[in-house]
Amino acid sequence: MRWTQTLIPTMKEVPADAEVPSHQLMLRAGLVRQLMAGAYSYLPLGYRALRKAEAIVREEMERAGALEVHLPALQPIDLFEKTGRKDAFGNVLINFEVRRGDRNVHLALGPTHEEVITDLISKLVTTYRQLPFTLFQIQTKFRNEERPRFGVLRTSEFLMKDAYSFSTDVEQLDAAYNAMYAAYCRIYARCGLEYLPVEAESGPIGGDASHEFMVPAGNGEDQIVRCSGCSYAANMERADTGRQSVDISAGADGATLTKVPTPGVTTIDQVCDLLHCDPQQMIKTLIYVADGKPIAVLVRGDHEANEGKVRRALNATSLELADEVSILEVTGAPVGFAGPVGIRCPLLADHDVAHIRDAITGANAADSHYTGVNVRRDYDLDATHDLRNASDGDPCPRCEGTLEIVHGIEVGHVFKLGTKYSTSLGADYVDENEKRHPIIMGCYGIGVNRIIASICETRYDENGIVWPLSIAPYEVEIIPLNIADEDVMSVATRFYEELQAAGVDVLMDDRKARPGFKFKDADLIGIPLRMVVGGKGLKAGQVEIKWRWQDNADKVPVDSGAAEILNRLATQRETMAASIPD
Ligand SMILES: [Zn+2]
């Protein structure tokens, strides 16, 4: 492609409303333009990169044995009512009524396709002989984002690869899940992304076992907990810590238990200000209602309770924060003055709570707190539990190493769904004994736009994007320095045609512009391999070749220019291939 014949609107300035590198770079390099909040148009350069990512995803899905389908984005709302997801999605589900003849039809724009595909399969599959199989599609999804932000990282409309496996038993489900997991590792490696599979909760989609695929990135919205010593990694909701239950029998003498007036002081920060203490000195007491019964959950003042862990420790199906009335019932005080001493409900404490000597907590009386609170003497615990979010330096649950918290961008997820959708939508099969069972499902998603955004978020320098060869909109950019120089243009054009004939994606910057201007744009759009053809070089019989990530160009003889380019591309492809897992 000749630059003068394409549309690459590069920008010098950093757009004011673009906060993160990927957003800034995708706008500046002319990959995308915003239509409205949460909706972006892909321009030719951006769309070429997106299509390359899509092609890799498709190849790996097919390699893993999945079959491609294409389902309607427009879906009847009653499917979402049958699975309960109309309420679960709430405002995120874009739905509306349209007029058809004399009636209104209520429709939704698909946020994912579990409903549509399960409904389809319920009509197509009858017997175990038809199973297992995995279907996938690459299609636009819609979610009404309350806060679309970070450019294309969080949008209301995005390209997603979603796959669904259909199995008769857990062994088949595990095989499908493992095949998808392996395919995902290959996809991200081929896209040149540093990725991390992390253990995850299944979230509102239902089911139990799941992994998220994260790209560690400073601006990532998700928090990843990972071990420095082993391969343990989990998202914040899921991550265990290796802390152990504390020996509470030892007890502590400590300071005298003292009730101090704290009028109107209800938050940890306010108490610390008033009593000149650190949050680590405080016991945070949260009143929950678990399966209808109140429970006081204790964590250290500087820690965050993790509701998933609390629910698992209690083996509870439902867990919610207590309302003001329930809090008054068990503490005898308004919200903000709860504490373990004399509270009228069972206690569930995090490991770290029992380590606090002379703690400060609410006194279960309005406008008062206790100081000098010590476990065993002032309140009793049977055991302590892992109830809080992991933090930097916590011990690993699997090895002797320590945990660290890093930010990441979620680029994919794999879920063992189970029978939630097949049960609610009647997708059954009969086994060899003519017995009927719901089909066991898995679902597997990849945000294709996020692959592009994650590359721009993690592979750049002060001058622009540094594309991996596999995803780059073009592989080679040829820069003739002076287009008025006939020799320069004829050599540049010859390379351009030779490389194109060899199947290389080539961009030639044939604009009438100063060399410095072209170099700046070349760095910004980040095409991996650059060839510069200049009048002076030609007189010395040379052209310059340079990788985007290389500091200085190599001078090579004009005659071997094209061979040199092809050679370098082949070597780079081999290097990338070596990093792809089986
Ligand atoms: Zn470890």
| Residue pLDDT, tens place only, 62-88 | 999 999 999 999 999 999 999 999 998
Distance from Cα 234 to the centre of ligand 1, integer Å? 11
Spacing, Cα 198 to ligand 1 middle (Å): 13
pLDDT for 460: 96
Q: Does the pLDDT value for residue 539 go beyond 90? A: yes
- Distance from residue 391's CA to the centre of ligand 1 (Å): 14
- What is the pLDDT, as a whole number, of residue 205? 42
Determine the distance separating the centroid of ligand 1 and the alpha carbon of 241, expressed in angstroms: 10
Query: Closest Cα to residue 531, out of 572, 574, 492, 474?
Result: 492
Distance 388 CA to ligand 1 centre (A): 18
How far does the centroid of ligand 1 lie from the alpha carbon of residue 227, in Å? Answer: 5
Structure confidence by residue, pLDDT tens digits, 242-270: 998 888 776 667 889 999 999 999 899 99
Q: Quote the pLDDT of residue 203.
A: 45
Per-residue pLDDT at 540 exceeds 80:
yes
Q: Which of 249-258, 309-318, 420-429 has the lowest mean pLDDT?
A: 249-258
Kindly report which listed range (145-154, 169-178, 295-304) carries the lowest average pLDDT score: 145-154
User: pTM for the complete prediction?
Assistant: 0.90
Token pair, residue 300, equals 């250290």
Q: Is the pLDDT of residue 417 over 60?
A: yes
Sign of the torsion formed by the C-alpha atoms of 314, 385, 209 and 114: positive
Q: 235 CA distance to ligand 1 centroid (A)?
A: 15
SS3 501: helix
**Cα of 407 to ligand 1 centre, how many Å?**
18
In the reported structure, the alpha carbon of residue 229 is separated from the centroid of ligand 1 by a whole-number distance in angstroms of 5
- Residue 278, pLDDT score: 95
Is pLDDT of 202 > 60?
Answer: no
Distance from the alpha carbon of residue 324 to the mean position of ligand 1, in angstroms: 41
Question: In the block, which residue shows the tokens 């820069």?
Answer: 479
| DSSP per-residue codes, 44-83 | HHHHHHHHHHHHHHHHHHHHTT-EE----SEEEHHHHHHH
Residue 83 corresponds to which tokens in the numbers above?
């699975």
CA of 396 to the centre of ligand 1 (A): 5
For 333-361, how does the pLDDT look when each residue is reduced to its tens digit (9 = 90+)?
999 999 999 999 999 999 999 999 999 99
Kindly list the strands in the beta sheet with 283-290, ordered across the sheet, starting from the edge strand earlier in the chain.
319-321, 283-290, 293-300, 347-350, 384-385
pLDDT-above-70 percentage for the chain = 98
* Residue 367 buriedness (CB in 10 A; 0-12 / 13-18 / 19+): middle
Q: Ligand 1 centroid vs 225 CA: distance in angstroms?
A: 11
Among the ranges 304-313, 316-325, 541-550, which has the highest mean pLDDT value?
541-550
Mean pLDDT of 140-165: 91
- Residue 203, SS3? helix
Distance (Å, whole) CA 533 – CA 489: 8
Q: How much distance in Å is there from the Cα of 403 to the middle of ligand 1? A: 7
Distance between Cα 170 and ligand 1 center (Å) = 28
Question: Which pLDDT does position 153 carry in this prediction?
Answer: 87
- pLDDT score at 204: 41
Q: Parallel, antiparallel, or unpaired for β 476-480 and 529-533? A: parallel
Distance in Å, CA 46 to ligand 1 centroid: 39
Contact between residue 158 and residue 140 where contact means Cβ atoms under 8 Å apart: yes
Q: How far is the CA of 214 from the centre of ligand 1 (A)?
A: 18
Please give the mean pLDDT across all residues of the chain.
94
Distance 284 CA to ligand 1 centre (A): 29
Nearest to 28 by CA among 48, 44, 14, 43: 14
Q: What's the pLDDT score for residue 244?
A: 87
* Helix, strand or coil, per DSSP, at residue 249: helix
Query: 395 C-alpha vs ligand 1 centroid, how far in Å?
Result: 8
Separation of CA 386 and ligand 1 centre (Å): 16
Q: pLDDT digits over 481-515, tens only?
A: 999 999 999 999 999 999 999 999 999 999 999 99
pLDDT band at 208 (very low <50, low <70, confident <90, very high): low
CA of residue 228 to ligand 1 center, whole Å: 6
Which whole number is the average pLDDT over 385-401? 95
Q: How far is the CA of 490 from the centre of ligand 1 (A)?
A: 60
pLDDT of residue 473: 98
CA 226 / ligand 1 centre spacing (Å): 8
Whether the predicted pLDDT of 41 surpasses 50: yes
User: Ligand 1 centroid vs 197 CA: distance in angstroms?
Assistant: 15
Section 14-38 average pLDDT? 92
pLDDT tens digits for 80-120? 999 999 998 999 999 999 999 999 999 999 999 999 999 99
CA of 232 to the centre of ligand 1 (A): 5
Distance 200 CA to ligand 1 centre (A): 17
Rounded distance from Cα 233 to ligand 1 centre (Å): 9
What is the Å distance from ligand 1's center to 289 Cα? Answer: 34
The CA 351 to ligand 1 mean position distance, Å, reads: 19
Spacing, Cα 277 to ligand 1 middle (Å): 34
pLDDT digits (tens, 9 = 90+) for 446-480: 999 999 999 999 999 999 999 999 999 999 999 99
The edge-to-edge listing of strands for the beta sheet with 74-76 is: 74-76, 103-109, 95-100
Q: What is the pLDDT of residue 83?
A: 93
- CA–centroid distance, residue 356 to ligand 1 (Å): 26
